[in-house]
Amino acid sequence: MKKLIIHGPAFTALDADHVQALADCLVAIDDHGWIERVLTPGDQDFERVRQAAKKAGQLRELAKGEYLLPGFIDLHVHAPQWPQAGLALDRPLEEWLNHYTFPLEAKFSDRDFAARVYQDFVHTLLAHGTTTAMMFGTIHVSANLELAAQCRRQGLRGFVGQVAMDNPEETPEYYRDASPAAALRASEDFIQRVQETAGADDLVTPVITPRFVPSCTAETLAGLGKLAAKYDLPIQSHVSESNWESQYAIDHFGMHDAVTLDHFGLLTHRAVMAHGTQLTHEDMGLLKERQTALAHCPISNAYFGNGVLPVHYLLAAGNRLGLGSDISGGYTPSLYHNIRQAVKSSRMLEDGVDSKRPASERGVAASRITVTNAFYLATVGGARALNIKSGQIKAGYRADLQVVSAHSSFTPLSTQDVFERLLYQTEAADIRGVYVNGHLVYEN
């Protein structure tokens, strides 16, 4: 690719509480897709660099009202569930899985069906400003390879998992691995085939993926922990997602599922665990000690989590934390919508929801988060969870970016006002362009 300069205003998170607003900047992207420099008008060679890029046909000037943001990082996605997004969310989790989700995922034994779904889904993620996604596939190696191929073809940075689920007590006969040996063999086959087809700066990383503790036998969990160590790979699963899932681990292993996952070597600095609404303070401390990240899925949690993740507490405690859409436990792939729900859920946690109780006893004090906190989760937090140099508009980081058009305003807005309105009002139609590794992979 050739070098690129993007000229215009930008917002990027510095940390969980601070956003840097650049009213006018040049983001210089090298021919390998890295951000080389970020220049502002105070820099001596700002105008020289801009003019040289314009002359060379390497300049993108943002239109009036357009802003540059880091691409969003979705830490928890069930890619095969895309066809059922928005369906049956009023059902209990166990019923939703057995009557809707598992029958759908079983259809991915047909690679042609998988290709049609994944082509549309990867395009849709990019169209919503998501540049990196950590995704569950199914138990079918061929379908998961199709998901990997679509990521490469369309330019999405994909962390893709071969799902392991072999417990006959909690998985249907028509959709499960035949045995622990079969689950582990399929996982290793998928890993090797992804790695064999990888190119330079490859966009796809295979992920060790036990569906969750109830779906897997102890032998499979142990074997997956060994595979993760053997290949030094990321791990993804669910942890303390609901009352039912949390209780299952206690009843069958005599310990919380966080401790169960750790017992099998599945809590590492490369692991991302979703939901966590039932975590105890001891569980949270274990995740922090292991440097295991949490994927906060606020929309999905409202339906199936039986609680609200204490984001403010976790950030203050130093836990690693990002944001997830949880398609299709969440009905939308938009992390903008999940940013908004994260703020709303935190306020409900702090204020409480039972008006029959005294206000002082209703909620959990000091639980509110800001939209800045939520923006951090969708960008920097996600990148740190995946150990990738992305999520910031900063020299030395991947040029994973989105160009967003702000809605019209009839009154003057401060810089903070503009930032907040972008996060609260942006829809897919407002996303003008998306870059991954400096390549324009989506344009509207």
Residues 119 and 232 in one domain: yes
pLDDT at 199: 82
Tokens of 52: 């040289």
Strands 439-443 and 431-436: antiparallel
User: Closest Cα to residue 18, out of 294, 275, 315?
Assistant: 315
The angle at the Cα of 202, spanning 197 to 206, to the nearest 5 degrees, equals: 70
Residues 302 and 405 in one domain: no
Task: Report the half-sphere exposure of 439 (CA within 13 A, side-chain side).
Answer: 15
Residue 420: CATH number of its domain: 2.30.40.10
Identify the domain boundary among 370, 386, 402: 386
Residues 366 and 245 in one domain: yes
Residue-range definition of the domain harbouring residue 439:
4-70+392-443
Residue 150: CATH number of its domain: 3.20.20.140
Residues 191 and 278 in one domain: yes
Phi, psi values for residue 189, rounded to 5°: -60, -45
Chain Cα centroid distance, residue 419? 21
Using the Cα atoms of residue 435, residue 118, residue 331 and residue 407 in order, give the sign of their dihedral. Answer: positive
Residues 134 and 270 in one domain: yes
For the chain, which residues score pLDDT lower than 50?
none
Contact 277, 245 (CB under 8 A): no
Residues 322 and 414 in one domain: no
pLDDT at 242: 83
Query: CA 211, CA 80: separation in Å to the nearest integer?
Result: 13
Burial classification of residue 333, based on how many CB atoms lie within 10 Å of its CB (0-12 exposed, 13-18 middle, 19 or more buried): buried
Query: CA 338, CA 343: separation in Å to the nearest integer?
Result: 9
pLDDT at 374: 98
Residues 350 and 406 in one domain: no
Identify the domain boundary among 386, 401, 433: 386
HEC secondary structure over the chain: CCCEEEEEEEEEEEECCEEEEEEEEEEEECCCCEEEEEECCCCCCHHHHHHHHHHCCCEEECCCCEEEEECEEEEEEEHHHHHHCCCCCCCCHHHHHHHHHHHHHHHHHCHHHHHHHHHHHHHHHHHCCEEEEEEECCCCHHHHHHHHHHHHHHCCEEEEEEEECCCCCCCCCCCCCCCHHHHHHHHHHHHHHHHHCCCCCCCEEEEEEECCHHHCCHHHHHHHHHHHHHHCCCEEEEECCCHHHHHHHHHHHCCCHHHHHHHCCCCCCCEEEEECCCCCHHHHHHHHHHCCEEEECHHHHHHHCCCCCCHHHHHHHCCCEEECCCECCECCCCHHHHHHHHHHHHHHHHHCCCCCCCHHHHCCCCCCCCHHHHHHHHHHHHHHHHCCCCCCCCCCCECCEEEEECCCCCCCCCHHHHHHHHHHHCCHHHEEEEEECCEEEEEC
Residues 38 and 59 in one domain: yes
pLDDT at 19: 98
Give the contacts of 6 (CB within 8 A, at least 6 positions apart). Answer: 26, 27, 29, 59, 60, 62, 68, 401, 403
pLDDT at 244: 83
Residues 273 and 399 in one domain: no
Residues 348 and 255 in one domain: yes
Residues 341 and 425 in one domain: no
Model confidence over 211-258: pLDDT tens digits? 999 999 999 999 999 999 999 999 999 999 988 888 989 999 999 999
Structural domain tally of the chain? 2
Annotate 85-103 with b (16+ C-beta within 10 A) or e (fewer).
beeebeeebeebbbebbbe
Residues 368 and 356 in one domain: yes
pLDDT at 94: 82
Residue type, 195: Q
- How high does pLDDT run on average in the chain? 97
Tokens of 338: 């999940």
Identify the domain boundary among 341, 371, 386: 386
pTM of the model: 0.98
